[in-house]
Amino acid sequence: MSPKKEEKKDNNDVSYSAKDIYVLEGLEPVRKRPGMYIGSTGVDGLHHLVWEVVDNSIDEAMASYAKNIRVELLKDNKVRVIDDGRGIPVDIHPQTKKSALETVLCTLHAGGKFGGESYKVAGGLHGVGVSVVNALSKWMQVEVERDGDFYVQEYKRGVPQYKLKKTGKSSRTGTIVTFQPDDEVFLKIEFDRKKIIDHLRQQAFLVKGVKIEVIDERDKSIEYYAFCFEGGLLSFLDYLTEFVDVIQGTPFYVNREYAASSEETSPASKKGGENIQVETAFVYSDDTEIQELSFANNIYTSDGGMHLTGFRSALTRALNDYARENGYIKDKEENLTGDDVREGLVAIVSIKIKEPQFEGQTKARLGNPPARTAVESVVAEALKEFLQKNSGPARDIVSKCLLAAKARKAAKAAKETVLRKGPLEGLSLPGKLADCISKDPSESELFIVEGDSAGGSGKQGRDRRSQAILPLRGKILNVEKARLDKMLANNEIKSLVIALGAAIGDDFDPEKIRYHKIIIMTDADVDGAHIRTLLLTLFYRYFREVIERRYLYIAQPPLYRIQKGRDFKYAYSDAEKEKVISELGRLKAQGLRIKDKDLSESTSVGSKEDETTEVIKGINIQRYKGLGEMNPGQLWETTMDPATRVLKQVTIDDAQEADRMFDVLMGEKVEPRKHFIQSRAVTVKNLDI
């Protein structure tokens, strides 16, 4: 009898059999992997809970059952969403043998959007929205008014606390959802009122005539906002172009149904063809920026998709056809490119489709091929009619596109001139750049420094292995008001483009960026703030991916150096200054006010100057307003040393609002900027003139 072979066991005899296969039931998958359902457990994921609940109310409004939606921000991090729709059904579900309400709240992929005729179109197509919110909430309560009765049920972390209860009579219909996000799931629970208002304003534009209210009851004073737009997408266009000049007197607008054939629709539907509602509006501004917002069933598709692709194709083809037919383009080989016809474009593309195919639960991109055909067909036909009937706006649009084409050719020549002299060809970097030794972008830092004086201190005080210094002379060009060819004629911008090594415009390649930390380091005065804003405008408009990859930072140099004897400390704000003085002088800082003298002088406080100035003997306060006032050692210690410095990372939380703000602060229109300054003047402290 042969000896029995021993079974091989790896990894310290760890077993792997059927008992090791875990089956997550109910809402367990959501709590186990929340990021799969809401994107993240950070700020965006937290607010995604609000969007999911509001989406259900919006779906009722799109189906013409709801006219009013209210979002309340309550104390203890609670949010309440109220609508006057039909109310979630409460009768017993034939499959689960539980109420339909409990089924919807406690079961993934359960809802009225998978079949039947409850919703012709809906945003929450996956049926996981409100159940995910329930799973990720410490506490949730749902109240339903329908069929003359009032019902309520509570949940804790997705678990019902009792069966659905009928608590009284009601003469209205609707649903009230109140939830409290779980602090075991989310890193930080703090709802951003502005973020919520911006999102809900957008929804009000998209659902013509629906009233959306926001009430913030978290502070002592209650804040109230209400939105209702009868103009729909045209009102949305007015909002988007509020701070720019529109060259096109009559906006383009179309709202039509496209009958998709059975060959175009998904075979899985087995229902033959379907109607796709296409609604699109656009105007051209005198700006060079492009604003294209796309929506599918009112869900903002930030990454575009088939519907946006169809719109772009129709726009390019229709404008080329019109320009050629009317003699604007005579060369048979010459055509307006997609970039030419989109310069200065402000467009909204919104479609309603029965079974949208979003990529991922966060719904950033639409994947339905019929959406492209529908939008392309509807827009091409409607735009042809628009151009024929509106000769004035048509002429303005084509002239704008031809100017963009001319500028594109000039910019191409300018780029080639700049890039031939840059590191892309293996030639020299700008002479003013003090580069670092390391060639590894992940550990290399570029300090963009204001002025030669600060640049000199930075070059002497830096870590030469990993830190590069690029001093800028004066203020760079305001790129909000200039085209690319004019930009590249500016020596400071040209030096920066070459130093980054990733080209610019269509040739920009983020993989070739030579530094993964780009730090704007300017003086703490008005001129420094202006230079910083100009640089932020440049990066936002032409190197946005640098910001999106979180490579851009703003240095935070100290405002004060406070010394008593041999002891000294740096203070980065007025509040911190008072705290340091209190520590060094062992006096209460309350009510303390130190008078600063000349910018480069130290202020010694040793005698009483007036009734508002405290007397603190032996304390020396130096107010820094220029980086050049610091010697190399001080600049390194306070602003450049990775172990002690303070950096602000630049992010884009809301690109649409960021775009509007750059238009206000840096654009051609003076009135919006004047209003912005006047409305905020009362909040400015310690104005530096």
Q: Which residue ranges make up the annotated binding site for Mg(2+)?
A: 450, 523, 525
Please state, as a whole number, how many other Cβ atoms lie within 10 Å of the Cβ of residue 183.
11
Pairing outcome for strands 517-521 and 445-450: parallel
Query: In whole angstroms, what is the distance from residue 366 CA to residue 98 CA?
Result: 34
Q: Among this protein's residues, is 527 annotated catalytic?
A: yes
Q: Among this protein's residues, is 525 annotated catalytic?
A: yes
Q: Which of 527, 637, 641, 668 is an active site residue?
A: 527
Q: Is residue 587 packed enough to be buried (19+ CB in 10 Å), middle (13-18) or exposed (0-12)?
A: middle
Least Cα distance to 415 among 318, 307, 505, 353 occurs for: 505
Q: In what order do the strands lie in the sheet with 252-260?
A: 252-260, 274-284, 345-352, 291-296, 299-300
Q: Which of 198, 289, 463, 525 is an active site residue?
A: 525
Chain position carrying tokens 């003997």: 617
Tokens of 508: 């920009």
- Answer yes or no: are the C-beta atoms of 33 and 27 closer than 8 Å: no
Q: What is the DSSP code (8-state) at residue 637?
A: I
- Answer yes or no: are the C-beta atoms of 317 and 308 closer than 8 Å: no
Question: Which helix (DSSP H) or strand (DSSP E) does residue 539 occupy?
Answer: helix 526-542
Q: Binding site, residues? A: 450, 523, 525
Give Cβ neighbours of residue 374 (< 8 Å, ≥ 6 apart): 258, 260, 276, 278, 307, 310, 351, 353
* Helix, strand, coil share (%) of the chain residues, nearest 5: 35, 20, 40
Q: Which of 102, 145, 279, 450 is an active site residue?
A: 450
Question: Which helix (DSSP H) or strand (DSSP E) does residue 619 occupy?
Answer: strand 619-623
Q: Which of 523, 578, 659, 663 is an active site residue?
A: 523
Detail the DSSP E strand segments found in 451-585: 467-472, 517-521, 552-555, 560-564, 567-571
Q: Is residue 524 packed enough to be buried (19+ CB in 10 Å), middle (13-18) or exposed (0-12)?
A: middle
Least Cα distance to 348 among 276, 392, 300 occurs for: 300
Chain position carrying tokens 């630049």: 650
Annotated catalytic residues are: 450, 523, 525, 527
